[in-house]
C-alpha cells in the first residue's frame, strides 16, 4: 500500500515540476477563432436599416392555425386508438391514467406538427388587376 502511494506521489511531483505553471498552461499559442468585431458594433451595424415603407409586403396568410387544430385532433384520435393496446396487454391494473397522459401528450405534438405543415400552405389570392 505504501509503495503504491509513494509511486503515485512521485508521478504527481514529476508532473508538477515538468509541466508549465497555471497561467502558462492555459494560454493559447494561437487564437482558435479569428478576431471578430465587438458585439456592440455588430448590433449597431445590423440594426440600422432603412425605414419600412407603408407599401411593404405584409406576411402572407397561411393555414397554420387550422393545421394545428387538425393535427391536434388527428394525433389525439390516433393516441386514443393506440392506447387500446393497454387494454389488451397482460399487464394488470388500470389503463385510465396512462391513456389520459398519452392522449394529452399527443395533442401538443399534433398541434405543433400540424401548424408547421399548415404554415407552409398559403391560400390562393387573386392578383389585383393592373392599374392603368
What's the pLDDT tens digit per position in 64-95? Answer: 999 999 999 999 999 999 888 877 777 666 78
Distance from C-alpha of 109 to C-alpha of 79, rounded to nearest angstrom? 11
pLDDT digits (tens, 9 = 90+) for 17-37: 666 665 555 665 665 666 565
First to last CA, the chain: 100
- Residue 53: exposed, middle, or buried by beta-carbon count in 10 A (0-12, 13-18, 19+)? exposed
**Which one, of 58, 74, 82, lies nearest residue 112 by Cα?**
74
Residue reference for cell 400552405:
121
DSSP 3-state of 7: helix
pLDDT digits (tens, 9 = 90+) for 95-117: 888 888 989 999 999 999 999 99
Joined together, the cell numbers standing for residue 118 give: 399548415
Amino acid at each position: 500500500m505504501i509503495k503504491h502511494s509513494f509511486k503515485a506521489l512521485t508521478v504527481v511531483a514529476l508532473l508538477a515540476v515538468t509541466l508549465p505553471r497555471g497561467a502558462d498552461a492555459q494560454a493559447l499559442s494561437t487564437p482558435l477563432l479569428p478576431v471578430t468585431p465587438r458585439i456592440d458594433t455588430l448590433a449597431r451595424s445590423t440594426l440600422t436599416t432603412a425605414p419600412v415603407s407603408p407599401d411593404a409586403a405584409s406576411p402572407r396568410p397561411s393555414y397554420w392555425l387550422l393545421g394545428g387544430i387538425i393535427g391536434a385532433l388527428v394525433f389525439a384520435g390516433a393516441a386514443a386508438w393506440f392506447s387500446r393496446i393497454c387494454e389488451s396487454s397482460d399487464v394488470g391494473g388500470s389503463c385510465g391514467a396512462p391513456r389520459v397522459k398519452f392522449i394529452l401528450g399527443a395533442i401538443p405534438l399534433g398541434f405543433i406538427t400540424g401548424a408547421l405543415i399548415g404554415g407552409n400552405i398559403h391560400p390562393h389570392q387573386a392578383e389585383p388587376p393592373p392599374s392603368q
